């Protein structure tokens, strides 16, 4: 009888390195701006304090319920905001934002505050 050996592909440990590198590259290229960044929670009173200290560069209201706040570059250097600059899974710092998010509460009151902020040169969307 003839012994026929079946040639199975052998496991190569370099495949693991290839998979890890591919996943990291995909996260970097297709992850988007904010998908891998964590956004810190805050509240309306802290937001108002940030606004009065001119730390806010942009405010985006989502679904009339949540507001996302992006800080100015100067604000990111302050010790109070160091936590929002932390690195994500692949070592990138969150310097582009958004940095904070909070529930808006009364939308009309919040819109008035944003209008006052726009008068002070803050970009709101």
Domain extent listing, the chain: 32-124
Q: Give the domain 32-124 fold.
A: 3.30.720
User: CB-based contacts of 27: which residues, under 8 Å, 6+ apart?
Assistant: 36, 89, 90
pTM above 0.75, yes or no: no
What are the tens digits of pLDDT across the range 43-85?
Answer: 888 888 888 888 888 888 888 888 888 888 888 888 888 777 7
pLDDT value of position 37:
59
Strands annotated E in 6-78: 40-41, 56-62, 66-71
- Residue 47 burial (CB count, 10 A): 21
What are the tens digits of pLDDT across the range 86-112?
Answer: 766 666 676 777 888 998 888 888 888
What are the tens digits of pLDDT across the range 1-16?
Answer: 556 666 777 778 888 9
């Amino acid at each position: 009888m003839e012994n026929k050996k079946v040639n199975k592909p052998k496991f190569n440990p370099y495949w693991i390195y290839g998979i890890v590198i591919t996943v990291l590259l995909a996260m970097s290229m297709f992850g988007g701006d904010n998908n891998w960044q964590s956004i810190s929670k805050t509240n309306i009173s802290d937001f108002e304090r940030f606004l009065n200290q001119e730390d806010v560069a942009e405010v985006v209201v989502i679904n009339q319920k949540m507001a996302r706040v992006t800080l100015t570059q100067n604000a990111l250097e302050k010790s109070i905001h160091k936590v929002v600059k932390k690195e994500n899974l692949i070592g990138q710092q969150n310097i582009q934002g958004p940095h904070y998010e909070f529930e808006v509460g009364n939308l009309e009151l919040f819109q008035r505050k944003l209008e006052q902020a726009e008068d002070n040169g803050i970009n709101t969307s």
